[in-house]
Structure 1
Amino acid sequence: MSRPVVGIIGNSYLLNEQYPVHAGGQMNSDAIAEVSGCVPMIIPADPRHVSVAELMDICDGFLLTGGRPNVHPEEYGEAETEAHGAFDRARDAIALPLVRACVERGQPFLGICRGFQEVNVAMGGTLYPEIRELPGRMNHRMPPDGTLEEKFELRHDVTFTEGGVFHELMGSQVVRTNTLHGQGIKHAGARIVVDGHAEDGTPEAIYVQGAAGFTLAVQWHPEWNAAGDKVSRPLFASFGDAVRAWAARDTAPALKAV
């Protein structure tokens, strides 16, 4: 029996500062292949190349990855400022309607960092452009120097809602995670349940209330050491179970035009 396919949302980069590419981190593919037990397939997130409907027919589930560009503030009704950073409007045009279509259809996705923020914005939520500038908040950004091990070091605790979805999944109410983001949730979107917070109150774990499929998203980067980390492994394993369950369906619900 063939493994189900997980579409990994790619990011646009310039290779050697001049050659445009769509790329995805190897650790994302490793986590999907080795822990989720699925086939990882990098998606060129650009509506010139793919449509949401095509992707949902080809893939059984989706990994909404992290990335340096941020969701454009126009997507949540705010004006662009220097603090909002770089953008990828092509990815916005694929990822945001893809989230809404998956929620509607019950197709599974897992959101990471920017993907976490995409889930919130897709459901009508808003974002802070820079968490570290808020009173009482810590600096959640990736350390500018050091090895990968140092940059992805576990740096703060996340506390889940007692008896909530993440508490049940992890088997613990408090876990230790890395942190490599600048933006974060300002207002939660419709049906978005904030199920975990960092020590400074920053939302770190969400899901879509009442959705038929797997809709978990986290602000940290669980793809780092996914096979060996006691927090990352159950997240990717449960996502893989949800993708296999979707793939095993005899028929998928019809998808409305998006």
Structure 2
Amino acid sequence: MARPIIGIISNQHTINDEYVVQAAGEINISAVADVAEGLPLLVPADPDKVHLSDLLENCAGFVFTGGRANVHPEEYGEAETPAHGTFDRNRDRITLPLIRALVERGQPLLGICRGFQEVNVAMGGTLYPEIRDLPGRDNHRMPPDGTLEEKFALRHNVEFSEGGVFHQLMGAQSVLTNTLHGQGIKTPGPRVVVDGHAPDGTAEAVYIDGAPGFTLSVQWHPEWNAKADPVSRPLFEAFGAACRDWADGQRARPMLRSA
């Protein structure tokens, strides 16, 4: 049986200040191929090169990856400030309508870091430009120094709602995760259910209420060490199973629901 095609949203980069590329991290590709057991397909974040209908028809599901650029605040009704950082309006033009279409169709999506924030914005929510500037909040950004292993080290717990979707999936109500983000959810969209929080109250895990398919998203980076990590592996395995069902014509695979 052929593996389901899973789209991985890429990010635009410039090599040597002149050569523009679309790229996705090797760890995203490995997580999709080795844990979700899908066929990775890199999706360029350029709406002039890809069309929404083609993506929906050819891919069984999508991973909305992290990235340096942030969702532009105009997408959630706020003015741009220096605190909002850099942007990629082309990626906004791809991801936000794609997320809404996937939710409506029941087609699987997995949001990671920026992707987590994109899901909230696509569903009508807003973002804080900088979590560490809020009273009582921790610095969730990537450590500036150290090896990749140190940057992606497990740094704080995430507490899930008792009996909720993530609690059931992980088999534990509290898990240890990495943290490498500056922005975060301010106001959840009307259907966005925050199912997990960091100790400082930052939203870390969400799903879409009433969606007919898989819509789990997380603020941390589960693609790091996904094959061996006890938190990352079940997330990608469940996402892969939902993608296989979609590709096999079973269409929507309901998420676990709270009791």
2:135 counterpart letter in structure 1: P
State the TM-score, normalized to the length of structure 2.
0.96
- Residues 91 and 155 (structure 1), Cα distance of their counterparts in 2 relative to 1, 3 Å cut: same
1:116 corresponds to 2:146: no
Task: Please state how far the C-alpha of 1:17 moved relative to its aligned partner.
Answer: 2.4
Structure 1 residues 38-68: Cα deviation after superposition (integer angstroms, max 9, x where no partner): 0011000111001111101111100000000
Structure 1 residues 58-104: Cα deviation after superposition (integer angstroms, max 9, x where no partner): 11100000000000000000000000000000000000000000000
1:65 counterpart letter in structure 2: T
State the match for 2:80 in structure 1: 80
Task: Please state how far the C-alpha of 1:251 moved relative to its aligned partner.
Answer: 7.6
Task: Please state how far the C-alpha of 1:16 moved relative to its aligned partner.
Answer: 2.1
Alignment identity in percent? 68
Q: Secondary structure at the match of 2:97?
A: helix
Question: Aligned equivalents of 2:226 and 2:18: distance in 1?
Answer: 32
Question: Aligned equivalents of 2:141 and 2:238: distance in 1?
Answer: 27
Task: Please state how far the C-alpha of 1:250 moved relative to its aligned partner.
Answer: 6.5
Instruction: Report if aligned partners of 2:107, 2:251 keep a CA contact under 8 Å in 1.
Output: no
State the match for 1:255 in structure 2: none
1:62 counterpart letter in structure 2: F
1:228 counterpart letter in structure 2: A
State the match for 2:257 in structure 1: none
Structure 1, unmatched stretches of 5+, are 253-258
Q: How does 1:1-258 map to 2 (within 5 A)?
A: 1-249=1-249
2:249 counterpart letter in structure 1: R
- Residues 235 and 250 (structure 1), Cα distance of their counterparts in 2 relative to 1, 3 Å cut: closer
Question: Aligned equivalents of 1:139 and 1:185: distance in 2?
Answer: 15
2:122 counterpart letter in structure 1: A
Aligned residues: 252
Question: Aligned equivalents of 2:18 and 2:26: distance in 1?
Answer: 21
Question: Aligned equivalents of 2:134 and 2:251: distance in 1?
Answer: 47
- The ranges of structure 1 where at least 4 consecutive aligned residues each deviate by more than 2 angstroms after the TM superposition are none
Structure 2, unmatched stretches of 5+, are 253-259
Instruction: Report if aligned partners of 2:106, 2:251 keep a CA contact under 8 Å in 1.
Output: no
Question: Aligned equivalents of 1:67 and 1:39: distance in 2?
Answer: 21
Q: Secondary structure at the match of 1:243?
A: helix
State the TM-score, normalized to the length of structure 1.
0.96
2:34 counterpart letter in structure 1: E
State the match for 1:256 in structure 2: none
Question: Aligned equivalents of 2:251 and 2:102: distance in 1?
Answer: 15
- Residues 171 and 125 (structure 1), Cα distance of their counterparts in 2 relative to 1, 3 Å cut: same
